[in-house]
Amino acid sequence: MGFARFVAFRYLVISWLSLAAVRVAAQEQLSGTVVDESGSALPRAAVMLVDQGDAEVATTFTDLHGAFRFLRSCDRCTVIVSLAGFNPARSAVSTDSPSTVTLTVAPVRESRRGPPAHRRG
């Protein structure tokens, strides 16, 4: 009976440790959604996770639903989000709850140049 108790105890300890590891891994996640001013999801936006000193920690892209996820924790980190045609945005992120980052449309800038070189007189 001693061996059976040893095996059962070992199985319980391994199971408990496995569940604890899964629980910790699930908590170490930073996530959010990137939307435009109307609330529509913005796919393929670049999302850079930076620490307090603005050093890059990780980078990803939003999915088709504008969602992003980093499978890690990061104290006092922020995300910098960019997408062509929009102004970049910065937002704090936390493992407590998903963040929503709103991008605003960038102004259109035109530059006027002279005629092409072959047409100059």
User: For residue 51, what are the domain limits?
Assistant: 28-103
Region 60-82: mean pLDDT is 95
Number of separate domains in the chain: 1
Q: Identify the CATH number of the domain in which residue 46 sits.
A: 2.60.40.10
Say if 92 falls within a structural domain: yes
State the amino acid at position 30 in one-letter form: L
- 95: helix, coil or strand? coil
Say if 7 falls within a structural domain: no
Say if 48 falls within a structural domain: yes
Tell me the per-residue pLDDT of 93-121, one tens digit each, with 9 for 90 and over.
999 999 999 999 999 888 777 676 666 55
Tell me the per-residue pLDDT of 9-43, one tens digit each, with 9 for 90 and over.
566 556 665 555 545 545 589 999 999 999 999 99
Say if 19 falls within a structural domain: no
Say if 110 falls within a structural domain: no
Say if 118 falls within a structural domain: no
Say if 35 falls within a structural domain: yes
The pair of three-digit structure tokens given for residue 106, joined into one six-digit string: 């960038």
φ, ψ of residue 60 to 5 degrees: the values are: -150, 180
pLDDT of 48 higher than 90: yes
Q: What is the pLDDT of residue 27?
A: 58
Say if 50 falls within a structural domain: yes
How far apart CA 30 and CA 77 sit, in angstroms, is: 10
Q: What is the pLDDT of residue 4?
A: 66
Region 82-103: mean pLDDT is 96
Best CA proximity match to 84, nearest among 112, 48, 44: 44
